[in-house]
Amino acid sequence: MQEFLLIGVDGGATKVNCWSVNVDHSGKFSLGNISESRSYSEYSEYDPEFTPVDLQIQLDERTKDCIEPTEKEMRQAIVYTNACADSIIKVAGKSNKSRVLLGVGMPGLKTEDQRGISAMANGPRQIDYAKNLEQRLSEAGIDLISPISHIGSDAFYCGLGEEYASAGQFRNVKNSYYLGGGTGAADALKIQGKLISLDDIKEWFVKAWELKCPENRSIETYVSFRGIQTLYGELSSQSLTDLNSQEIYPPQIREKALAGDPLARDTFEKVAKYLALLLYERITTLYAGWQGIFDFVNPNRPVPNIQHSYHSSLFDNIIIGQRLGDMLRESKNDSVLWQPFIQSLNLLICESSVLDDKAKNHYSMNDSFDEKWIVFSNLREAPALGAGIDAYLNFKE
């Protein structure tokens, strides 16, 4: 029995979720029964009109090692820190254990010491995030048994959750790709039975948020909940604030599309098209290396290598998770999202000049895509679970 409280933190762009994490004597992990979440908008200091610094400027400053957060970023960052600290304090308060081991996942590129966030597409840069969080927790009397060694990738933590949880979809497969769509896009990869950090294979595999579509947008626009909502808002001349106040989110936009709303249908036509193209890119990149299907959000990103160590590998499954997975599961066989998505993916595979007959028959037997390859995550809180797992596996008391 663990003598401390293990907490996993999933910090997103709109809210933070904290969960207790259990580990049994055999080393199996599961979510505990204590959780807390805080939306940043709950705080009076939160700026609902906050706009991130242009991503290219963020990346340039990061490359030059001269990151200069704006005053607005610093004010918004305080809200992020307080929301996270308050959630952790609440979870710890519900437990009878006084010592805490903490794992934290956040989107964005990390600072050199891995304890801050140096670039973030949907929020403020926070170069002293771990330091400020530890200070808040210390002031509240939380006894961290180890400093936060690093802020992990929420995407990689999704992968850890899928690999180590009993209900995880990475278990019992050799090769698999995970795509989670929430505020942003999170992807993870398992190859030859091993979970691989995408940072370790960036020479040949590109993270979803880095890919730019022909319409000059990040692929994240079409596979994340905020992106889909933003896309519909632009088509219907409504702001995110307008849509949120009317409680119009992607599931409601899908319902509008099913009811015949032309703007909603246009939105999901693009979602189906680019979701299929993204998965096709993953399939071909694993099998034959980078094919240049997408451009890059950062035009200065080095072109990926065509050669890698896993050529001719095939996915055993493709996992769709988070809110995107929930919506895609609900759309099964509908004419707005599921059917166009499957048809587009099947056409890309069958007409591919990159995939040979072996690969085509694996995914699309008799020119019909085998839907068994698409599975849905059962772990709504995979990032928080993964954060706790990572902290535990890396802890040395």
Q: How far apart are CA 305 and CA 353, in angstroms?
A: 19
Instruction: Indicate the average pLDDT of the chain.
Output: 93
Residue 2 has pLDDT above 70, yes or no: no
Q: What are 33-48's pLDDT values in tens digits?
A: 999 999 999 999 999 9
Task: Tell me the pLDDT band of 280, cut-offs 50, 70 and 90.
Answer: very high
Residue whose entry in the numeric block shows the structure tokens 């990040």:
218
The model carries a pTM of: 0.85
Q: What are 87-132's pLDDT values in tens digits?
A: 999 999 999 787 999 999 998 899 999 999 999 988 899 999 999 9
State mean pLDDT over 158-170. Answer: 89
Q: Is residue 47 helix, strand or coil?
A: coil
Give Cα 280 to chain centroid, integer Å. Answer: 19
Q: How far apart are CA 243 and CA 247, in angstroms?
A: 6
Q: How far apart are CA 281 and CA 49, in angstroms?
A: 35
- The domains of the chain, with CATH numbers, are 5-155+382-393 (3.30.420.40), 172-376 (3.30.420.40)
Q: What are 167-220's pLDDT values in tens digits?
A: 889 988 999 999 999 888 889 999 999 999 998 999 999 999 999 998 899 999
Q: What are 335-351's pLDDT values in tens digits?
A: 999 999 999 999 999 99
Three-state SS for 218-263 is ECHHHHCHHHHHHHHHHHCCCCHHHHHHCCCCHHHHHHHHHCCCHH
Q: How far apart are CA 315 and CA 286, in angstroms?
A: 8
Residue 1 has pLDDT above 60, yes or no: no
Residue 343: per-residue pLDDT: 97
Q: Tokens standing for 146?
A: 């180890």
Q: How far is CA 195 from CA 181, 202, 327, 338, in A?
A: 19, 14, 26, 28
Residue 396: per-residue pLDDT: 64
Alpha helices (H) along the chain: 55-64, 71-94, 129-139, 154-164, 220-223, 225-235, 240-245, 250-258, 262-288, 322-330, 338-350, 357-363, 382-393
State mean pLDDT over 70-92. Answer: 96
State mean pLDDT over 269-284. Answer: 98
Q: What are 8-20's pLDDT values in tens digits?
A: 999 987 899 999 9
State mean pLDDT over 291-314. Answer: 95
Q: How far apart are CA 76 and CA 40, in angstroms?
A: 9
Residue whose entry in the numeric block shows the structure tokens 């029995």:
1
One-letter amino acid of 133: L
Helices 262-288 + 250-258 axis angle, to 10:
110
Q: How far apart are CA 106 and CA 74, in angstroms?
A: 17
State mean pLDDT over 312-332. Answer: 95
